[in-house]
Amino acid sequence: MGLAGKRPQAAHGSFFLPCAAGEGDRAKRGGGWGALLLAALVAIASPAFAKPQRVVSLNLCADELALRLADPGVVKSVTWLSQDSRSANMAAKAAALPANDGHAEEALAYDPDLVLVGPFADPASVALLKQVGAPVVEVGAPQTFDGVRRQIRDVAASLGEPERGEALIAELDARLARVAVDLSRPRLKAVVLRPNGFTVGPGSLVDEILTRAGLDNLAARLDIAADQQVPLEVVALLGADLLILDRDENGAPSLADAALDHPAIAALAGRMTIVSLPSRLWTCGGPEVAEAVERLAASAAAARARRATQ
């Protein structure tokens, strides 16, 4: 029944949906290269018609980008994670929408013309979505600022909102440019502690955020992978100037978060500056990373000032 109900929509889709994923499938179903060419022509001639009208997002990071970029009313459903203002950036908008648990079946209920999935989406779910002809765009986990820009651009294109994407990138770059880093002085040494005692090594977005904020990521000296658990005693003895705690402000307790409340960390407060940074600012590689850089740069400046007075 679901499939039968979809067929007219799918035909529309092949005309009005010029974007990347799912295009090949649709072109074949809709009658081959002719349809594809027509779709491309229509897309160029009238970009307004190219926008998907029923977008479902099955991933927190995709939720936020879609809500930032799409017209009101276009996004039909987002994940439940996006609706908590303590752990998500677009909660005000997300809370007004029906929530999903990230399952393919939930997306299909909206008869979507674009489904956004995350980097760790269940392959079976993605296969199911593609099988019934829903175009799927995967939102990744960018590991560099360039990757962040590329991702905004890609998602904006799939939503048919390239100008908004460029505007968002320009705003991100402008905010980053305003963060002044005094390169004449040696960088303060910092280490990140995430829930469950994970730290973040080189080659990651967090590492780039630290560098951009004028900090030197000590985890680079630990010979560890990009994301790895580190015993608390190793963190304590690293000799960092700044200990950056990645706090989820979700409110519900977990052992993972309790690891950041270990009394050893409070006991070290006299020896290093402890900074809490909300997870929502750097979990997804969205434009909110600018705020993470701003806050860390401000903390670094405060730590320097404190050291100068001591």
Partner 1 sequence: MSARATGAGVRYGPLVAALAALALAVALVSLMVGYARLDVPAALADAFAGRSTAAAVVLEQIRLPRAALGATVGFSLGLAGAALQGLLRNPLADPGVIGVSGGAALGAVVVFYSGLAGAFALAMPLGGVAGAVVAALLLYALVGRGAGTMTLILAGVTVNSFAGALTALALNLSPNPYAAYEIMFWLMGSLADRSLPQLWLALPLTIAGWALLLASAPALDALTLGEDTAASLGFDLGRLRAQLVAGAALAVGAAVAVTGAIGFVGLVAPHLLRPLVGNRPGRLLLVSGLGGAIILLIADIAVRLIPVHPELKLGVATALIGAPLLYSLIDRMRKEA
Q: Whole-number minimum distance, CB 260 to partner 1, in Å?
A: 11
First to last CA, the chain: 73
Note whether 35 and 27 are within 8 A (CB): yes
Does the CA dihedral 252-64-61-114 come out positive or negative?
Answer: positive
Binding mask 111-150 for partner 1 (x = CB under 8 A): ----------------------------------------
* Given 99, 197, 220, 294, the residue binding partner 1 (CB under 8 A): 197
The smaller minimum CB distance to partner 1, of residues 146 and 249, is found at 249
Q: What is the closest distance, in whole angstroms, from the C-beta atom of residue 65 to partner 1 in the complex?
A: 19
Binding flag, residue 236, partner 1 (CB under 8 A): yes
Q: Which CB, 100 or 211, lies closer to partner 1?
A: 100
Q: What string marks each residue from 250 to 279 as x (binds partner 1 by CB under 8 A) or -?
A: xxxxxxxx-x--xxx--xx-xx--------
* Residue 262: C-alpha distances to residues 38, 68, 232, 239, 259 (Å): 62, 37, 9, 18, 6
Per the CB < 8 A criterion, the answer to whether 231 and 197 are in contact is yes
Q: Determine phi and psi for 144, rounding to 5 degrees.
A: -140, 165
| Minimum distance of partner 1 from residue 121's CB (angstroms) | 16
Are 61 and 69 spatial neighbours (Cβ–Cβ below 8 Å)? no
Region near partner 1 per CB under 8 A, out of 66-74, 157-165, 173-181, 223-231: 223-231
Tell me which residue of 156, 248, 241 sits closest to 196, measured CA to CA. Answer: 248
d(CA 218, CA 201) in angstroms, rounded, equals 8
Query: Angle at Cα 148 formed by Cα 145 and Cα 152, nearest 5°?
Result: 145
CA gap 305, 310 in Å, rounded: 9
Interface with partner 1, residue 310, by CB under 8 A: no
Interface with partner 1 by CB under 8 A: which range of 66-74, 161-169, 247-255, 292-300?
247-255
- Binding residue (CB under 8 A) for partner 1 from 37, 92, 96, 237: 237
Least Å distance, CB 80 to partner 1, is 9
Supply the minimum distance, in Å, between the C-beta of residue 187 and partner 1.
20
* Nearest distance in Å: CB 64, partner 1: 16
Classify strands 198-200 and 215-217 as parallel, antiparallel or unpaired: unpaired
**Any contact of residue 284 with partner 1 (CB under 8 A)?**
no
Nearer to partner 1, 206 or 260 (CB): 260
Instruction: Choose one: 61-69, 98-106, 107-115, 233-241; the region binding partner 1 (CB under 8 A).
Output: 233-241
- Do residues 115 and 135 lie in contact, with contact meaning Cβ atoms separated by under 8 Å? yes
Closest separation in Å from C-beta 155 to partner 1? 23
CA angle (167, 62, 173) in 5-degree steps: 30
Q: Which residues bind partner 1 (CB under 8 A)?
A: 81, 84, 195-197, 228-229, 231-234, 236-237, 239, 248, 250-257, 259, 262-264, 267-268, 270-271
